[in-house]
């Protein structure tokens, strides 16, 4: 915290001109100016320019007009007494103008390099507009598909979220924070926000420390290790203490235990909301609690501006505490190079071309789409001579194609949530991409069938069925509009909205191959269309290049390679459902649950009696974490480990041969899971520990080698510390969390 800041002070700073340290600069600040550095104002705030001029603003949020940003910075640097530049914050979540797949979609790529590259483009575009700080990545573990902000997450697993979160941070911040196109990242929401009750945004969270440490905090520790500049506190309360007043989180863990040296910003007005929570009597006490907890900057509220001064003057808060908060913020401004130049991006020349951005957006969409089902059409299944799967479509065999559904031609809706600056003019829709691909060779008949995904009428069904009946194959684009997911957009019912399921039943009457493509911001319960559809592609909200990517996948130009970053429930009543659950004292399994007509109705007698499951849904998800099909066929063979007994501190080499036994080139995501059979606290039935996305030509085999260190087996247990416990571990390597080859080893 002693790095020297070089800054020219103005003549009226009442100090000699020259080079000073940050602490020297703080020493020259009035209490009002110090508190100003702790305040972030919305761009619409009244008298914003005058407030900046008087040194009472440290950051501005929601201004991305480069000319206006430039003027605000000019006022801060040239007209305020000390010339301290501003942090310009903006939600740049999955792209700025060029919108990539939503983060949950990017997570389905299982490709950290791709996530980093997408973030780099977003940072470049944002920096060119004067933005130097964004509120991403959101690394809340998300186990509830009802929660709207699951779209903004990387899914349910701590390891996958940690890896992808670190990749996004690297993309946003670059090799150096003061790079021309680097912007400060913000790890949010610290902590536990993703487990809000019933999937209701902003709701209560109750997480035992064991679960908090083992599941919800690891991605934040990985973010810190990746050098993230800032953290954001969660809206919600954690075990009765709202995050913005939670000293255990902000001081005990983040500062003292982890040694974080950046700064912490509140979420939008969450300091004043401490009064609403009922933990503070008024805004003065709210400011006191937040400052004492370790919240350095207040976003959009005025609890600090109105109350910190009197709290210091009355001795409730020591001035040195305020100085430390200011220092944390100034250090990030220094690291960003803002004291040298607030417009670094304007002078840069190595700008990514529009063509390269669109190429990356297409690749990201391609790798994010998950093939959930692929089988022969019912008529073809009955014909022993023609049992080809519905996908990929054969361009040579088709003369006509019906494109149906409310999401086929929606340039805005395919972008998804959190796209304040997104340019829908860059969107290429599936309908237009399919038409471009087939040209005049195949007739394309389009019928939207529904005005929106939420429509409940069947007025357009007849025209849709007419189009479907006259064509060789049907592609139905279903899902949910972007407004149905994101912040404050939770759903209690996560079936396909409106009459979409009824539309699929109507289209089934045509008797043609029926392919469903779902564009959505969350997992949906789609069991009611799986029997009707011959193939299902889950595309999330794939961004500007949704169309070309989906078209390539439909026609087999590229094989699908997406894998689920979150389990898909059969029905909403199974939520929360996630792969890394505990075993319980009465575990359910395929051998114990009795099914009649595919409905779980009871359990066979076991040594421990009845087992844990839902009578009407069983115990398994519709699709497990890590799941995804390909147009090729992969085989796993020869699982080998380097030793049966592994000493603490040692490394286990895990080797497996993966073969592409199909006829097309494709990616396979090889996943390594373990289970600690006996621990001082109960352990999950499986835990992802590593993964590798490999590219295999048809007929090619590769030996994949993982190195598993015993540190990866450590957990927070009754000792109140992370440690590895000796014992037996099961180990699997396979294509998802359900299937794979198995062996075991011991830690000694």
Q: What residues does 404 pair with on adjacent strands? A: 447, 476
Domain boundary among 347, 379, 406: 347
Q: How high is the pLDDT of residue 583?
A: 94
Q: How high is the pLDDT of residue 380?
A: 63
Assigned domain for 569 exists: no
Q: How high is the pLDDT of residue 501?
A: 98
Contact 175, 123 (CB under 8 A): no
- Which CATH number do you get for residue 218? 3.20.20.300
Do both 235 and 117 map to the same domain?
Answer: yes
Assigned domain for 612 exists: no
Assigned domain for 222 exists: yes
Do both 296 and 365 map to the same domain?
Answer: no
Q: Which of 267, 343, 676, 690 is catalytic?
A: 267
Q: How many residues are present in the chain?
A: 748
Domain boundary among 554, 584, 617: 554
**What span, in angstroms and rounded, lies between the C-alpha atoms of 406 and 412?**
12
Do both 247 and 372 map to the same domain?
Answer: no
Look up the domain containing 450 and give its range: 360-554
Do both 110 and 135 map to the same domain?
Answer: yes
Contacts of 411 (CB under 8 A, 6+ apart): 424, 425, 427, 428, 429
Assigned domain for 579 exists: no
Render pLDDT for 693-717 as a digit per residue (tens, 0 to 9).
999 999 999 999 999 999 999 999 9
Cα three-residue angle 125-129-132, rounded to 5 degrees: 85
pTM: 0.95
Assigned domain for 605 exists: no
> Edge-to-edge strands of the sheet including 400-404?
370-374, 535-538, 514-519, 473-479, 400-404, 443-447
Q: How high is the pLDDT of residue 376?
A: 86
Q: How high is the pLDDT of residue 268?
A: 98
Do both 82 and 230 map to the same domain?
Answer: yes
Do both 292 and 439 map to the same domain?
Answer: no
Do both 392 and 272 map to the same domain?
Answer: no
Do both 313 and 447 map to the same domain?
Answer: no
Q: How high is the pLDDT of residue 594?
A: 58
Q: How high is the pLDDT of residue 595?
A: 57
> Residue 644 catalytic?
no
- Which CATH number do you get for residue 680? 2.60.40.10
Number of domains the chain contains: 3
Do both 166 and 212 map to the same domain?
Answer: yes
Secondary structure E strands in 647-735: 651-660, 666-676, 687-696, 701-709, 715-716, 722-723, 727-734
For 617, other C-beta atoms within 10 Å of its C-beta total 19
Do both 141 and 271 map to the same domain?
Answer: yes
Closest-CA residue to 572 (of 632, 615, 621): 621
Assigned domain for 87 exists: yes
**What span, in angstroms and rounded, lies between the C-alpha atoms of 234 and 725?**
32
DSSP H/E element including 742: strand 741-747
Contacts of 489 (CB under 8 A, 6+ apart): 148, 201, 417, 483
Domain boundary among 314, 347, 380: 347
Lookup: tokens for 635: 């085989």
Q: How high is the pLDDT of residue 347?
A: 76
Assigned domain for 600 exists: no
Closest-CA residue to 727 (of 676, 672, 675): 676
Do both 266 and 399 map to the same domain?
Answer: no
- Taking 50 as the pLDDT cut, the residues of the chain under it are 1-20, 605
**What span, in angstroms and rounded, lies between the C-alpha atoms of 666 and 628?**
12
Written as one string, the DSSP assignment of 140-201 is -----TTSGGGGGS--S-HHHHHHHHHHHHHHHH-SSTTSTT--B-EEEEETTGGG-GGG-T
Burial 338-374 (b: 16+ CB within 10 A, else e): bbebbbbbeeeeeebeeeebbebbbbbbbbbbbbbbb
**What span, in angstroms and rounded, lies between the C-alpha atoms of 507 and 378?**
13
Assigned domain for 353 exists: no
Do both 381 and 341 map to the same domain?
Answer: no
**Residue 719, SS3 per DSSP:** coil
- Which CATH number do you get for residue 513? 3.40.50.1700
């Amino acid at each position: 915290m002693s790095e020297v800041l070089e800054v020219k002070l103005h003549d009226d700073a009442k100090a000699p001109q020259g080079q000073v340290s940050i602490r020297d600069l703080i020493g020259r600040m009035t209490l009002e100016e110090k508190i100003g550095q702790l305040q972030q104002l919305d761009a619409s705030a009244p008298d914003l320019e005058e407030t900046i001029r008087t040194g009472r603003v440290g950051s501005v949020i929601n201004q991305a007009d480069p000319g206006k940003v430039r003027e605000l910075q000019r006022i801060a640097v040239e007209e305020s007494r000390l010339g301290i530049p501003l942090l310009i914050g903006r939600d740049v979540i999955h792209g700025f103008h060029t919108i990539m797949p939503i983060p949950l979609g990017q997570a389905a790529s299982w490709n950290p390099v791709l996530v980093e590259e997408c973030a780099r483009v977003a940072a470049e575009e944002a920096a060119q507009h004067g933005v130097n700080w964004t509120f991403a990545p959101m690394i809340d573990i998300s186990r509830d598909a009802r929660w709207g902000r699951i779209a903004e997450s990387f899914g349910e697993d701590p390891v996958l979220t940690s890896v992808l979160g670190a990749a996004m941070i690297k993309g946003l911040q670059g090799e150096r924070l003061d790079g021309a196109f680097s912007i400060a990242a913000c790890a949010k929401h610290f902590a536990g926000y993703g487990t809000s009750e019933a999937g209701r945004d902003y709701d209560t969270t109750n997480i035992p420390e064991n679960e908090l440490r083992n599941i919800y905090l690891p991605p934040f520790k990985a973010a810190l290790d990746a050098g993230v500049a800032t953290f954001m506190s969660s809206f919600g309360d954690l075990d009765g203490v709202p995050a913005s007043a939670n000293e255990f989180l902000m001081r005990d863990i983040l500062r003292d235990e982890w040694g974080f040296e950046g700064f912490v910003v509140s979420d939008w007005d969450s300091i004043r909301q401490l009064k609403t929570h009922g933990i503070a009597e008024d805004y003065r006490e709210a400011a006191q609690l937040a400052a004492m907890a370790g919240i350095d900057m207040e976003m959009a509220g005025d609890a600090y501006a109105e109350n910190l001064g009197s709290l210091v003057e009355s001795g409730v808060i020591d001035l040195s505490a305020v100085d430390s908060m200011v220092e944390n913020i100034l250090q990030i401004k220094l690291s960003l190079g803002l004291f040298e130049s607030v417009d670094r991006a304007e002078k840069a020349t190595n700008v990514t071309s529009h063509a390269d951005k669109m190429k990356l957006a297409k690749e990201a969409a391609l790798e994010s789409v998950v093939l959930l089902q692929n089988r022969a059409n019912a008529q073809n299944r009955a014909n022993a001579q023609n049992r080809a799967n519905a996908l990929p479509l054969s361009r040579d065999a088709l003369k006509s194609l019906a494109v149906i559904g409310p999401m086929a031609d929606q340039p805005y809706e395919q972008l998804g949530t959190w796209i304040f600056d997104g340019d829908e003019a860059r969107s290429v829709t599936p309908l237009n991409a399919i038409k471009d691909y087939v040209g005049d060779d195949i007739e394309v008949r389009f019928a939207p069938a529904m005005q929106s995904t939420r429509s409940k009428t069947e007025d357009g069904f007849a025209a849709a069925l007419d189009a479907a009946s006259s064509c060789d194959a049907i592609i139905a684009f279903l899902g949910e509009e972007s407004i149905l997911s994101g912040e404050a957009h939770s759903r209690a019912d996560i079936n396909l909205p409106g009459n979409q399921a009824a539309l699929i039943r109507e289209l089934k009457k045509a008797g043609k191959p029926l392919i469903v493509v779902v564009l959505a911001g969350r997992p949906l319960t789609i069991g009611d269309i799986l029997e009707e559809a011959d193939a299902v592609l889950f595309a999330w909200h794939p961004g500007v290049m949704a169309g070309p990517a989906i078209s390539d996948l439909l026609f087999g130009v590229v094989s699908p390679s997406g894998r689920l970053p979150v389990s898909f429930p059969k029905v909403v009543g199974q939520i929360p459902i996630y792969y890394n659950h505990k075993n319980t004292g009465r575990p359910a399994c395929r051998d114990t649950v009795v099914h009649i007509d595919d409905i779980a109705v009871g359990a066979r007698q076991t040594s421990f009696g009845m087992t844990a499951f839902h009578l009407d849904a069983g115990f398994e998800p519709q699709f497990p974490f890590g799941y995804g099909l390909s147009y090729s066929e992969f085989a796993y063979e020869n699982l080998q480990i380097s030793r049966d007994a592994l000493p603490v501190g040692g490394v286990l080499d895990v080797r497996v041969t993966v073969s592409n036994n199909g006829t097309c080139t494709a990616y396979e995501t090889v996943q390594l899971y373990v289970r600690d059979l006996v621990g001082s606290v109960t352990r999950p039935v499986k835990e992802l520990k590593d993964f590798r996305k490999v590219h295999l030509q048809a007929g090619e085999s590769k030996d994949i080698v993982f190195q598993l260190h015993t540190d990866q087996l450590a957990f927070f247990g009754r000792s109140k510390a992370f440690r590895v416990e000796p014992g037996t571990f099961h180990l699997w390597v396979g294509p998802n969390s359900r299937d794979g080859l198995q062996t075991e080893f011991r830690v000694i």
